[in-house]
A and B are shown apart, each in its own frame.
Chain A
Amino acid sequence: MLNENATAPLPVVVFADFICPYSYIALDQMDDLMRDYNIELLWRPHWLHPEVPPAGAPIPSAATAGRRAQTLAWLKEMAPERTDRMHFPDRIQFSLFAFEALEFAQDHGLALPFKTAVFESLWIEGRDIAQFATLQAAAEKAGLDSEELGRALSAQRYRKRVHDALQLAHDAGVTKTPTFVLGRYRIAGWHYYEVFQTVMEKQNVPLRAAVANSLPPVEH
Chain B
Amino acid sequence: MDEYIVEPDVIPWREGRIAGITFKCQVLMNGADGGPEALRFRFDPCPSVFAHMHLTSQFQLLLNGRMDFPKSTMKLRAIAVHYTDHNFPYGPFAVGDSHDMLVLHPKQGGLISMADHDARRQINLKGRHFYGSAAATDWINQPEFRGVRCKPLIPPSSGPYAVILECPPHACLNLPPAPYGRYELVLAGSASVSGRTLLPPGLRYVRHDSDDVSTITPMEAGRESATLMLLAFDNDACEGGLTGDRLSVAAAEAIERAI
Binds A, one of B30-38, B45-53, B145-153, B207-215: B45-53
The answer to the question of A71 belonging to the interface, with a C-beta cut-off of 8 Å to chain B, is yes
Distance (whole angstroms) from the CB of B228 to the closest CB of chain A: 32
Hey, which chain B residues are within 8 Å of A197, CB to CB?
Answer: 121
Q: A192-B114, A198-B123, A199-B125 are in contact. Are A73 and B47 (CB under 8 A)?
A: yes
- B256 to chain A minimum Cβ distance, whole angstroms, is 23
Q: Measured between C-beta atoms, what is the minimum distance from A43 to chain B in Å? A: 21
Of B47, B51, B89, the contact of A70 (CB 8 Å cutoff): B47
Question: A69–B47 Cα gap in the complex (Å)?
Answer: 8
B142, chain A: closest CB distance, angstroms: 32
Contact assessment for A195 and B70 in the assembled complex, using a CB-CB cutoff below 8 Å: no
Please determine whether B71 and A77 come into contact, CB atoms closer than 8 angstroms: no
Counting chain B CB atoms within 10 Å of each CB, the highest count among A66, A70, A73, A202 belongs to: A70
Query: For chain A residues 37-89, which have a beta carbon within 8 Å of chain B?
Result: 66-67, 69-71, 73-74, 76-78
Q: Which of B48, B68, B93, B121 contacts A198 (CB 8 A)?
A: B121
Docked Cα-Cα span, A192 to B68, in Å, equals 20
Contact assessment for B47 and A192 in the assembled complex, using a CB-CB cutoff below 8 Å: no
Q: Given A70-B68, A73-B92, are A194 and B50 neighbors across the interface (CB < 8 Å)?
A: no
A185–B114 CA distance with the chains assembled, in angstroms: 21
Chain A: interface size category: 20 to 34
Q: What is the size category of the interface that chain B forms with chain A?
A: 10 to 19
Q: Which residues of A contact B51 (CB under 8 A)?
A: 77-78
Do residues B123 and A77 form an inter-chain contact, with CB atoms below 8 A? Answer: no
User: For B94, what are the chain A residues with a Cβ–Cβ distance below 8 Å?
Assistant: 70, 73
Q: Is A189 an interface residue (CB 8 A)?
A: yes
The B152-169 residues at the A interface (CB cut-off 8 A) are none
Q: Which of B48, B92, B93, B120 contacts A194 (CB 8 A)?
A: B120
**Does B70 contact A22, Cβ atoms closer than 8 Å?**
yes
B196 within 8 A of A: no
User: Hey, which bits of chain A sit against chain B, CB under 8 A?
Assistant: 22, 66-67, 69-71, 73-74, 76-78, 176, 185, 189-190, 192-195, 197-199, 202
**26 A–B contacts, CB within 8 A, in A order:** A66-B47, A67-B68, A70-B47, A70-B68, A70-B94, A71-B70, A73-B92, A74-B48, A74-B70, A74-B92, A76-B48, A77-B50, A77-B51, A78-B51, A78-B92, A176-B71, A185-B125, A192-B114, A194-B120, A194-B121, A194-B123, A195-B120, A195-B123, A197-B121, A198-B121, A202-B125
Using CB atoms and an 8 Å cutoff, list the residues of chain B in contact with chain A. Answer: 47-48, 50-51, 68, 70-71, 89, 92-94, 114, 117, 120-121, 123, 125
In the A-B complex, the 9 residue pairs with the smallest Cβ-Cβ separation, listed nearest first, are A194-B120, A73-B48, A192-B120, A70-B47, A74-B92, A70-B94, A73-B47, A77-B92, A194-B121
